[in-house]
Chain A
Amino acid sequence: MTARFRLRQAWIIARLELARVFLSRRGLWVYGLALLPAALFLIHGADVRYRLAQYRRAGVAPAAVLEPVHAGMTEEQVVQAAGKAPEDRQWRRRKWTEREEGGKRISESKEVRARRMVYFDGQRRFIFYFEDGVLRDLHRVQLMNFQEDREVFAALFGYYYLRLAIFFGCLGIFLNLFRGEMMDKTLHFWLLAPVRRDVLLAGKFLAGWAAATAIFSGGALAAFAAMLWPHMGAEGQAYWQGPGPMHAFRYALAAAAGCAGYGSLFLAASLWIRNPVVPAAVLLLWEAARGFLPALLQKLTVLYYLESLCPAPAPLDPEMPALLRLLLAPAAPLDPWLAVAGVAVFSALVLRAAAAGVRRLEINYSTD
């Protein structure tokens, strides 16, 4: 048998397996994991667009008129400058104040006339709050913030996709490749084919990887598109004609690399260990503790390579506890192509160990 013939066999196995992996009832939850962020971004986008349309219908005031409005102005001055507010509400409220008199704190209340006027400049809402006809407080609310949405996406990709969704999704997909067939009592069909066991492993891994990549890279790209959707004005167009496509590609690449890295590990675990939940938990802890590991050991985590593939590091909240910051802090970035090569070498080594496991695999449906 030639290497070419064996490659063809692996390809045929992958093709035959692909439909099973995609349509497995046991793996339907994986789609939920992958598509949840896209659904959230879509809901957010639809909500923003709906509100924008609503505010536009109510009336738009020029930003140049609204910007100079400041505390201390009267209602009349504001209305004179900006016109009648699309949203205008008045009510009476009791206002409490405290003062000191002879070393005592005395609380007093008086009734004030409150008024809330909201203007819209096409992008932002200007919320003016008056008491007894004088502007006391004002807020500007940006309805669409592209920079902020991109940061949210980076955080979501780094914390949700890489640390959770791809990890658990691959656990579900790759454990099923052999263990699922053992449970369905169909694995013997593969073992009775004139195919070397390592070729069978390669074919099944290829099917699992292709399916996981389609699901998670597809899910990440769908979320990315859903994030961009409400911004497809000038700002979004400029981004899409600039670094946007490369960013999308790198997110998809990071997801694909994650599927290869975690997939190979779970495939090997399913062949070597009867109950792979324990090694999966250990692996999750190991990956989570990457921030505590010395530089050399960090290279033995999948996350180390994946983070280098992301176009932007996941942002860290400055008020986050120090311990959590240490855990989540990104590793020193690696050249993206080195990161791809790192994941490939890592996966190849793990699959080599898995090949030894598949060679000693026996059909024993009664105990599995």
Chain B
Amino acid sequence: MSAPEIVFENVSKFYGDVLGVNRVYLRIPPGLTSIVGPNGAGKSTLMNLMCGLISPDRGEIRVLGIPPRDPERLMRITGYATQFDAAPRWATGFDFVVSSLLLFGYSATLAERLAWAALERVGMTEAAHRKVSAYSKGMRQRVRLAQAIAHDPQVLVLDEPLNGLDPVVRAETIALFRQLAAEGRHVIVSSHVLHEVDSISDRVVLLANGSVIAEGDIRGVREEIREHPSQYLVRCADPPRLAALLFERAPVAEVRMVEEDGALLVLTRDRRAFSRALTALAAGGVDIESVVPADENVNAVYEYLIGGGA
């Protein structure tokens, strides 16, 4: 039997004439997956489609085998903290989480216990009995997160979950995501702040203009886009001389001087050959201080993919 996955098969969604997402094929395994893209790339659309808040115009979605148009089954295994910063203002944080749990059929006592546990996990117990309307943006974010995790879902979908959190809470929240992912759940996080997710994700899905332009682990994504040159930052004693030597002896596409660093930014399409040539130059007496891949983070990959890079 194949591993339980979230599957998008040729999914498209339009808002009138405006493209939401277009021909998306995705398979998301358990673990922490980040959906990354600039504003308007289609991240929220993808998440809303996954949880049934909107319906695809074309294609099919299955969340661990359940179609999103069946909320009765889907939302039992799924928790979704949306980006909408509007929580019911009539309720306290505690009431808000409890009331959503009552709809699962839990008794009032169990719902209260689960709500309290969830609020504890997001560090909101002190403010639990205050009205949501009196919460700061970060607190509302956390109470929505508590609501999403309170019923112990298998799939956790979080739209920009780190927005508005202070650094300490942010670190705790990231640790919570990692823990949930390590337990074998699907944790899907969206962000447009790239450095935020590249260090925490098992996988990334890169979106631009409603299309998935790459997916996989960060290195895998890099491999996937082989047609783009790799970038290396090479520090050395004599950059102009090394640049000349590289053009002569290594398969480089471009070499740029990084004036302030005393370094070279080298672009190559053949990393192995480049690595061999560089080793030979160093062995031949060229003073090379360090060689660092300049693009093995999401930001660099993303820059390539959407045309901001090479």
Contacts and interface: CB of A to CB of B under 8 A. Distances in A.
B75 interface: yes
A185 interface: yes
Contacts of A9: 103, 105
Interface in A151-203: 184-186, 188-189, 191-197, 199
A8 interface: yes
Contacts of A97: none
Interface in A1-46: 1, 5, 8-9, 12-13, 16, 19-20, 23
A110 interface: no
B105 to A, nearest CB: 6
B119 to A, nearest CB: 17
Interface of B is mostly: loop
Given A12-B103, A188-B53, A191-B52, A197 B71 contact: yes
Chain A interface category by residue count: 20 to 34
B102 interface: yes
A194 B105 CA distance: 10
A360 interface: yes
B100 interface: yes
Interface string B39-55: 00000000010011111
A190 to B, nearest CB: 9
B54 to A, nearest CB: 4
B123 to A, nearest CB: 22
B71 A194 contact: yes
A365 interface: yes
Contacts of B102: 12, 16
A107 interface: no
Given A23-B90, A185-B84, A363-B48, A191 B99 contact: no
A199 B54 CA distance: 18
A362 interface: yes
Contacts of A362: 53-55
Nearest to B148: A192
Interface in B196-229: none
A194 B51 contact: no
A64 to B, nearest CB: 65
Nearest to B95: A16
A191 B73 contact: no
Contacts of B71: 191-197
B243 to A, nearest CB: 51
A365 B48 CA distance: 12
B80 A192 contact: yes
A145 B48 CA distance: 64
Contacts of B76: 194
B72 A195 contact: yes
B86 A184 contact: yes
B104 interface: yes
Contacts of A365: 84
A192 B136 CA distance: 23
Nearest to B76: A194
A364 interface: yes
Contacts of A186: 84, 86-88
A5 B54 CA distance: 26
A35 B80 CA distance: 43
B86 A185 contact: yes
Contacts of A1: 72
A171 B51 CA distance: 31
A186 B76 CA distance: 20
B110 to A, nearest CB: 14
A364 B100 contact: no
A188 B82 contact: yes
A189 B100 contact: yes
Interface string A354-368: 000001101111010
Contact of A188 (B55, B74, B84): B84
A362 B48 CA distance: 9
Given A185-B86, A186-B86, A188-B82, A195 B54 contact: no
A364 B72 contact: no
Contact of B54 (A8, A12, A16, A364): A364
Nearest to A359: B69
Nearest to A362: B54
Contacts of A193: 71, 75, 100, 103-104
Given A193-B75, A194-B71, A194-B73, A5 B55 contact: no
Nearest to B85: A185
A8 B106 CA distance: 11
Contacts of B54: 362-364
Nearest to A191: B53
Interface in B58-98: 69, 71-76, 80, 82, 84, 86-88, 90
The 8 closest A-B pairs by CB, nearest first: A185-B86, A194-B75, A363-B53, A193-B103, A362-B54, A194-B76, A185-B84, A196-B72
Interface of A: 1, 5, 8-9, 12-13, 16, 19-20, 23, 184-186, 188-189, 191-197, 199, 359-360, 362-365, 367
10 contacts: A9-B103, A9-B105, A12-B103, A23-B90, A191-B53, A192-B75, A194-B72, A194-B76, A199-B72, A367-B15
Given A20-B90, A195-B71, 10 more contacts: A188-B84, A189-B88, A191-B53, A192-B51, A192-B80, A194-B73, A196-B71, A197-B71, A199-B72, A363-B48
Interface of B: 15, 48, 51-55, 69, 71-76, 80, 82, 84, 86-88, 90, 99-100, 102-105
